[in-house]
Amino acid sequence: MSSQLVILATLFGAAAGAFLPRIAYRLTVPFGDRARSSCARCDRPFPPGAAGWIHAGPACCAGGAGPVAAMSLAGGLLAAQLGPVPQLPVHLLAAIPGVLLAMIDLGCLRLPDRLVGTLALGAGVPLALLAPGRIAPALAAGVLVGAGYLAIAMLPGRGLGLGDVKLGAALAFLLGFAGWPAVAVGLGTAHLLNGAAATWLLVRRRAQPIPFGPALLAGALAGLTAV
């Protein structure tokens, strides 16, 4: 492991993370709604076009440092565990839609298809080009997990949405390129985290739906870096 690589990847994560609050805020809307055109707190409209999306810092008058922290952590962990392999930049870039999805799911319990698709194809195509021999197991992992989660989502009262099914399948597909142990650790960690969140809410006597996306994405990071 080279410390320069870890520092560079952490800095990349922090820099990329700084641009995420505005995008996540604008996309945190109920299903079928258009992206927010103005700040809900101060009513200030966002500039039209790319200028309204590409913005470093808080979304508008509010916003935390969460995405910067999450992206730097992901960048540093990935670089430390994977080292200077050609897959590293692929995963670093995949962390961008990953953190966006986690933020949006936390905000409004949604995982927009376009972002899940961007994550699956944006990372899946280069990973397939880098390791053509892993395409079949990766696809098998995606189909298996997708089918399993779809079956769970069909059960009444399980709280697993179709967005979770699609993201679970996409992440299993991507983890499949790293091998079956990565898929298993990724899913196992996701369910452990989800169970911990459910227990926490139970202890606090708070009845509220728990977004599964952040746990799935954190699990995927664990699957990539712990195996």
Residues of the shown chain interacting with Zn ion in the complex, contacts defined by CB under 5 A: 39, 41-42, 60-61
Task: Report the alpha-carbon distance of residue 100 to residue 122 in Å, rounded.
Answer: 14
Which class for 174: exposed (0-12), middle (13-18), buried (19 or more C-beta within 10 A)? Answer: buried
As a whole number of angstroms, the distance between CA 3 and CA 26 comes to 36
User: Smaller CB distance to Zn ion: residue 26 or 166?
Assistant: 26
DSSP tag of 132: G
Half-sphere exposure of 55 (CA within 13 A, CB side): 20
CB of 109 to Zn ion, least distance (A): 23
Closest to Zn ion by CB, 42 or 50: 42
Q: Which is nearer to Zn ion, 11 or 61 (CB)?
A: 61
User: What are the DSSP calls for 13-55, one per residue?
Assistant: HHHHHTTHHHHHHHH---TTPPPPSB-TTT-PBPPSGGGGT--
Q: How far is the CB of 41 from Zn ion (least distance, A)?
A: 5
Q: Minimal distance in Å, beta carbon 213 to Zn ion? A: 25
Smallest gap from Cβ 104 to Zn ion, in A, equals 18
Minimum CB distance to Zn ion, residue 103 (Å)? 17
For 185, the token pair is 């650790």
C-alpha 160/C-alpha 170 separation (Å) is 15
Instruction: Compare residues 39 and 144 and give the one whose CB is closer to Zn ion.
Output: 39
CA 122 from chain centre, in angstroms, equals 13
For residue 39, the minimal CB distance to Zn ion (Å) is 3
In the complex with Zn ion, the residue whose CB is nearer, 41 or 191, is: 41
Structure tokens at 66: 């969460």
Closer to Zn ion by CB, 41 or 158: give it.
41
The radius of gyration of the chain from alpha carbons, rounded to an integer in Å, stands at 18
